[in-house]
Structure 1
Amino acid sequence: MSADDITSPHSLKGKLALITGCSGGIGKATALALAKRGCSIAVHYNSSKEKAEEVVSELIALPEVKAVAFQADLSEYEGVHKLHAAVIAEMGHPDILFNNSGVTNKVIGPQGDIQDISAEMFERTWRTNTGTAFLLTQKCLPYMLQQKYGRIIFCSSVAAGTGGVIGPHYASSKSAMHGLVHWIASRHAKDGVTCNAVAPALIIDTTMMSNPSDQLKEKIPVGRFGLPVEIATIVEMLVTNAYMTNKIIVADGGWTPSAF
């Protein structure tokens, strides 16, 4: 890879990114950021079909960008098999995978009672946030290794390092991603495949933060909530930088003093 390839604004032309949870928020913002670099997008959604189709319309308005919406329930492993097969059949193998979809399930807060989280909810949260992301990564990796190019990004959370404001089921499902990042990145560093995670906190205009309180805002030193586009710029950097791998990039407005 030459320096021109790395710095060209069209360096993602001809690439395909599969972005889960892409009907709005961080997923949509990232899709637009990558598409502006010429990347085609497989837009995953679960229930928001209309919003996903609106994202596709915005994407295909860009020069030489292809985009298709794919429905799949990623709370179950069967949904991963369905999604991966559909994307390959219609668009080809993904070069870039952004594991962005996830759920909070029950919110008990930092002062909640762990007894309120059942083992079934704990496992369901882990399966949705981490298990299906693992399986989708596993299915996308062989093609990336074959072509000696791949970018894998997980959407973690500052909760992985602080406990967060949702509950132990959510926080632990996100911290589990970090082990995946470190193993995959180390294992495939010489194969042209990078693996990283972005760990946001308190990003508005997302399903998780649709109605945030002023009390939450007080936790953030910069004095405001984050925006999806601010997370998208980090993912864009991780996709376009072949030298950065095995990293957890925290974006939390200064809430935590260092990486974790």
Structure 2
Amino acid sequence: MAPIDNQVRGRLALVTGASGGIGGGCAKELFAHGARLALTCSSDRTYSKITELASSLKSSTKEDVKISCHIVDMSSTKAIEELFEQIKTEHGQTPDILVSNAGTAGFGNKANPYLENISLEEFDFTININLRASFLLCKLAIPHMAAQHWGRVVFVSSISAIGGGINGCHYAASKAGLTGMMKNLASKHAKDGITLNDVAPAMIGDTGMIPDEKRVEGTPGDVKNIPVGRLGTPQECANVVMMLCKTGYLTGQSILLSGGLK
């Protein structure tokens, strides 16, 4: 039997959507466990957030740990391919760990996200960002992982994947697609030493979608409907992601992180 390797230290982790609460939390947790980082955001407006995060992390240690920052349009095949070229140039390799977190909330009409208010354009855009981008990221990341017989892929899904949440059907479809793709790839790549899982959060505060409890008042995600009586935190999402990265015996699973909400 080959030695069991669940070591994260020294691995290269790509975290997409690192300017947000969940992505930033994942980046911090991976860095705390010794991973090198490639962080992405979607625009010049959010680039300062990931560069500030990178500076803060690097100043917190005496170790010289490489962190690269990238602006990427996740709806663009070319941009995602260029991201991997940039990562290879800066780190000398492609990622060992992929945390596919970047996404869009899919709110065309935030107050009324029902079918009649969702345009075809918004549906396509949401699928492209939330599902298609993860497909492309896997196509580019998995060959290196398979070649070294070690890899971790974690998708950030949602309670919407199983019909819950406060978003529209386009968002739910994109997240359910992630879970289906994850389960398929997990069964195919377990033999390659690669695990694929997702974390499906619900009602996580301090994020762009839910900045505070007021945002979900009067919705199915109202705090009074959550059995534990509060919103979740980005750090709690990061804790689950970290567990998935450190556990090579766990694959093909969707972890619902919802405070008991169904």
Task: Verify same fold: TM over 0.5.
Answer: yes
Paired with 1:223 and 1:171, the residues of 2 have a C-alpha distance of 24
| Deviation, structure 1 residue 42 | 0.4
C-alpha offsets along residues 206-238 of structure 1, whole Å, 9 cap, x if unaligned?
A: 111124233321221111000000000000000
One-letter amino acid matched to 2:233 = L
Partner SS, residue 153 of structure 1: strand
Matched-pair contact (CA < 8 Å) for 2:157–2:199: yes
C-alpha offsets along residues 160-219 of structure 1, whole Å, 9 cap, x if unaligned?
A: 102421100101100000111111100011110000000000111111112423332122
Q: In the alignment, is residue 73 of structure 1 matched against residue 73 of structure 2?
A: yes
Paired with 2:113 and 2:48, the residues of 1 have a C-alpha distance of 36
- The runs of 5 or more residues in structure 2 that have no matched partner are none
One-letter amino acid matched to 1:15 = R
Q: Match for 1:252 among 234, 237, 258?
A: 258
Q: Which residue of 1 aligns with 2:94?
A: 93
| Deviation, structure 1 residue 144 | 0.4
Aligned residue-pair number: 251
Partner SS, residue 255 of structure 2: strand
Matched-pair contact (CA < 8 Å) for 1:226–1:252: yes
Matched-pair contact (CA < 8 Å) for 2:28–2:57: yes
Q: Which residue of 2 aligns with 1:227?
A: 233
Report 1:1-260 matches (<5 A).
2=3, 6=6, 11-47=7-43, 48-61=46-59, 62=61, 63-91=63-91, 92-108=93-109, 112-211=113-212, 212-215=215-218, 216-256=222-262
| Deviation, structure 1 residue 108 | 4.9
Partner SS, residue 180 of structure 2: helix
Paired with 2:75 and 2:196, the residues of 1 have a C-alpha distance of 22
Matched-pair contact (CA < 8 Å) for 1:13–1:39: yes
Percent identity over the alignment?
Answer: 37
Matched-pair contact (CA < 8 Å) for 1:110–1:165: no
| Deviation, structure 1 residue 65 | 2.2
Paired with 2:23 and 2:228, the residues of 1 have a C-alpha distance of 24
Structure 1 residues 110 and 187, CA gap change in structure 2 (3 angstroms): farther
One-letter amino acid matched to 1:251 = L
| Deviation, structure 1 residue 82 | 1.9
Matched-pair contact (CA < 8 Å) for 2:54–2:67: yes
Tell me how large the CA RMSD over aligned residues is. Answer: 1.7
- The runs of 5 or more residues in structure 1 that have no matched partner are none
| Deviation, structure 1 residue 110 | 9.9
Moved over 4 A (4+): 107-112
Matched-pair contact (CA < 8 Å) for 2:16–2:40: yes
Q: Which deviates more, 207-216 or 53-62?
A: 207-216
Matched-pair contact (CA < 8 Å) for 2:31–2:37: yes
